[in-house]
Structure 1
Amino acid sequence: MVGTAKTARATWRGRTAPLVPGLAAALAAVAVALAVHAVVPLLPAMTIAVVLGIAAVNLPGTAALCDGALRAGLNFAGKHLMRAGIVFLGLKLSLADIAGLGWVTVALVVGVVLLSFAGTYALGKLFRLDGDLPLLIATGFSICGASAIGAMAAVRGTRHADTVLPVALVTLCGTLAIGVLPLLMNPLGLDALRFGQWVGASVHDVGQVVATAQTAGSVALSAAIVIKLTRVVLLAPIVGVAGGLERRRHALRGAALPGGQGAAAGKFPPVVPLFVMGFLAMILLRTTGWLPAGIVAAGSTAQDVALGAALFGLGASVRVRQLFKTGARATAMALCSWALIAALAFGAVHLMGS
């Protein structure tokens, strides 16, 4: 019995020890990102984390570390801490806040998400992007950035390496929004409320929404957050539909083999991954109002740490030289999608006020 326990501990250490350096580096990067954000609120902490990761893997002094001792932990953070961050993201959502928008506004937001998803996916096919890239970019751009990309990749069984480019693109376009959208507020004749609604309906990541909307004051920020979180709720049904279709595809492919061997032997992907169920459970908990404010605040901090570490890990897989060579078409497609979503959201905002 004692020998078995010692063997189990040794096995556990053997599996976790390679992860420690990379996880420690990711957590240190999150601390730096949060500190910079505290000093310069206009810079979202999650964007800073991605940039730090990209810098780490492309600078001569740290590139070897990212490819060597840190790699196992960085990959773990990019995959598993992303999922943990999605669960904690649910604590930011209350169905009561969304219901307070009214059914017309909610319907318009849902319409923007669905049209954005379909339009971006069509653009991906038009630009002849490979594999799951059109689907991942469509999910990230239309719903909630890197978190949505991670959730969709899980149900599709997409390789971790194939999520790197979509995350880089959603970070690029979200960062552009922070600088460009506030400049368009007055030329487009938007007051603070309408500007906040436009930002919430069009900008990809929650942190990028906050950074963009706060330039127009508290009214814009409040409107942007509620609209954005309404989009985030749609993560679960869209991922669920994708999971169901993927499961059906596996079943059909397995049934086509002699004697249905594939259906028996193949591993079916989950319709809704466990971490997405956790995300929904957190939304319901927040909606009940039972959770003390301290727990909600702690959950928000946990989400920042988990997502920040995950984004640093993903950023540390982005080779700038390779990105320029292989990602030109994807970048052009992403910019077209960004313009499409901004236009759809702008139209929806005017319908909200009519």
Structure 2
Amino acid sequence: MKIGLWFDLRNPPKWRQDPARLYGFTLEMCEEAERLGADSVWFSEHHGFEDGYLPQPLTFAAAAAARTSRVRLGTGILVAPLRKTAQLAEEAAVVDIISGGRLDLGLGAGYRVPEFELFDADVTARYRTLDAQVGELRRLWDKGGVTPAPVQQRLPIWLGYQGPKGARRAGRMGEALLTPSAESWPHYRDGLVEGGHDPAASARMAGGFEAYVTDDPEGDWPVVAPYIAYQVDSYRRYMVEGTGQPPPRPVDPDKLRRREPRGPLSSYLYGTPEDVAAEIRKRTAGAPVETVWFWASVAGMPEEMTARHVRTICTRLRPLLADHEPGGEAS
């Protein structure tokens, strides 16, 4: 199993940093992750967050491409329905060229009403739009619809579809599935078969975990817990913005840490590298999950905490998962 680092460049008001320094430091962490053996770095997207959440992941991926030479660069995810497909095809091709063929294009349908309003896009048609965009991207790249073409003959598209229906949809299109949950594998496999794709040859899964890895869980918890609480609370608050639903009550990070996952934002994986590795093996067992990634920084952590977390993931967690093959069972 391969390991990646996940960056969203959050800059919460409570812990605000100089934005230029934050972006520069994050690029340094991409270089450091590559030096320490990480297999990939991933960049996420949101718009209008109070903490300046990264809004343009392909732009940042281009900067990271210029600072690295081996590590793969992924978007996890880019909200495709907010963009014109031809522009997306060109931007992705440019990043792939700059990086020498290292781009993994993770796409999602999005969910936040204010983001669709900002881009004058139809939130009710987001899944239909994304399905059409995938086919159009393949056509534009394969038929010379945009120039220059990507370096990779078939640039990987990863679809961030959640749940049984989403997994099946990704399978029918013959694209990779951007979720690390083994529960999605039977539905994804069925979709591949329905779409005429051989699961043995076509199935690819990957995805991120809400997790923090430390050699001193009890000692670090009082320091880490406020950042985890902010991260989860802000996601939950922004999920309902524009829907008329009331904001959810603040989470209890202690409960998140102890709770088994029941869906998005329902729990937080926290523990030693050994504990986290065992849980990753369990949650991905039997599914063709080839890559998992983890937040480098949780909600704007200080630089020293972020750097230590990157080192722990790369030097302590990565070796524990190196022998876990896609489709393998939990040990």
Higher normalized strand content (fraction of residues): 2
Higher normalized helix content (fraction of residues): 1
Same fold at TM > 0.5: no
TM-score, normalised via structure 2 length: 0.27
Which one has the largest radius of gyration? 1
TM-score, normalised via structure 1 length: 0.26
